[in-house]
Amino acid sequence: MEEKYSVNGYIKLWIPNSPNEQYIKTVREVIADKSRLRAAFDKIYPTVTHPDHHD
């Protein structure tokens, strides 16, 4: 994820003052904060691997 979406990643989604600008900023903030990234992963992963079992 860092290689692709972080501040130094190769995804350069940049349309000033657009919703995409805020979305990519949020993604980059989560990637930079390893505990937030782990929490997001732990929340999302079960819904992808076992869509029938939600908390």
Q: Residue 44's pLDDT is what?
A: 93
Cα distance between residue 42 and residue 36, in whole Å: 10
Amino acid type, 5: Y
Q: Residue 36's pLDDT is what?
A: 96
Tokens standing for residue 13: 């989604």
H-type alpha helices, the chain: 2-5, 19-32, 34-49
Q: Residue 37's pLDDT is what?
A: 94
Which long-range contacts link 30-35 to residues 24+ away (Cβ below 8 Å)?
A: 31/1, 31/2, 31/5, 31/6, 32/6, 32/7
Q: Residue 34's pLDDT is what?
A: 94
The reported pTM is 0.61
Residues of the chain with pLDDT under 70: 11-16, 53-55
